[in-house]
Structure 1
C-alpha cells in the first residue's frame, strides 16, 4: 500500500498543534477543556487566537482529542521498549493500560476534566471513538490478530477494564499507584473469566445451522 504523501505544510501544522496542546495543558486544571484554556495556551505559545482556531477548528474538544491521540502514541512507544514477546497476552494488555496511565500521571487533573466533558450526551460519539482507538491500539500492540467475534469481544471487555481502571486511578494516592495496578490485575482476571463465557456462548450461536436464522415471512395484513 502506498503511504500518503506528507508535505512540509502537514508537518508544520502537526508541530503547531502539538505546541498548542503543550501550552494549553497547564491551564486545563483551572479552566477545563475550554476556550479560556485554549486562549491562555495560545498566548503562552506567542500565538494569536485566530492561529489557534485555524489549527483546531473544532475548538477545545479537538485539542482534547489530540491529547488522547498523543497518549496513545506515547503508550505504544513505551510498549516498544518492553519485551512483549516474553509476556503472556494478559500481561501485555496490562502493560498497555499501565503505560498509558503512567504517561498521563502528570496530567491527571486534565484527564479528570476531559472525562467530565466527554460524559456530556452530545460528546458521546467522540468519547466512544477515543476509547475504541485506545483499546484497539493496546490489543494491536499485544499481538491480537482475531477477525471473528473475538475481535469485538476483546475490545468491548478491555474498554470496560480500561474505563474502570482510569476512574480508580484518578483517586489513587498510594505509593507508585500500587493500588491501581492491583485493581487493574483483578479487572483483567475478571474480564478473562467473563470473556471465556461470552466466547463459548457466541461460538454456540455461530455454530447453529443457518436455517435456524431464516425468518418466516410475516403474513400480510388482513383487510376487512
Structure 2
C-alpha cells in the first residue's frame, strides 16, 4: 500500500511542479489531488516536495535501467554503451520543465548534497548496469567522471531546441570523447618509464582506496 500512495503522490505533484516548482504549495496540491491523508503523506515524505523530487529522480534511474536491460548492447563499443545509457536516462524524462525545476531545487545550498548524491547514484547505476567490477580507486574516478558528463549533458539538454535533441547527443558524444582521450593519456603515462616512476608514490596511495561496502548506505553508491 505505501508504494501505491507514493506513486499517487508523485503522479499528482508532476502536474503542479512546472508552475510552482518542487514546493510546499505543490506538495499540498498533490495531497489534495491524490486524496491522501496529509499525515500519511508527510510520514512517507517528511520533507514534502523535496523528498518527492528525490523519488522522481530515482524513478528516472529505474526507467533507465529498464531501457538498458531491454536493449541489445552486445555489438556496441564501450563508449557507445555509456552514451546509450546517459541518453536513456535523459529520455526517461516526460517533462523537461519538471527536471528544470528539480535542477533549480538541488542547486540551493540546503539541498546541494541531495543533488550530488542523486547524480552520483545515476552514474553508479550506469556503471553497475554495464558490468563494472572495479573495487579500487577506479570505482570512484569512473563515477566522478560520469557524474560530470551526465550533469553537464542534462544542463545542455535543458536549453536545447534542436530537432529531436540532436545537439544534445552531439554534445554528449564530445564529452565522452574527452573522457576517452583522458583515459588514453593516463595509459600513456603508465607506459612511460619516467612518468610511471614519478607516479609510483601517488599510485601506492590510490591502491589503498577501496570502493565502499554495499552495506554502507551513507556513502555514495553504497546504498
Q: Tell me how large the CA RMSD over aligned residues is.
A: 2.2
TM-score (norm. length: structure 2): 0.82
Q: Aligned to 2:58, what secondary structure does the other structure show?
A: helix
Question: 1:52: Cα distance to partner?
Answer: 1.6
- Matched residues in 1 for 2:108 and 2:133: separation? 34
Q: Return the match for 2:112 from 116, 119, 124.
A: 124
- Matched residues in 1 for 2:76 and 2:110: separation? 40
Structure 1 residue 112 corresponds to structure 2 residue 100: yes
**Gapped regions of structure 1 (runs ≥ 5):** 1-11, 213-224
Matches within 5 A, 1:172-211: 172-198=160-186, 204=196, 207-208=200-201
Q: Aligned to 1:84, what secondary structure does the other structure show?
A: coil
- Matched residues in 1 for 2:26 and 2:48: separation? 11
2:17 is aligned to: 28
Question: 1:190: Cα distance to partner?
Answer: 0.6
1:98 is aligned to: 87
Which entry has the higher C-alpha Rg, 1 or 2?
1
Q: Aligned to 1:26, what secondary structure does the other structure show?
A: coil
Structure 1 residue 133 corresponds to structure 2 residue 126: no
In the superposition, relative to structure 1, how do residues 129 and 198 fare at CA in structure 2: closer, same or farther (>3 Å)? farther
Aligned pair count reads 200
TM-score (norm. length: structure 1): 0.82
- Matched residues in 2 for 1:211 and 1:75: separation? 36
Question: 1:199: Cα distance to partner?
Answer: 6.1
2:77 is aligned to: 88
Structure 1 residue 157 corresponds to structure 2 residue 153: no
- Matched residues in 2 for 1:120 and 1:152: separation? 25
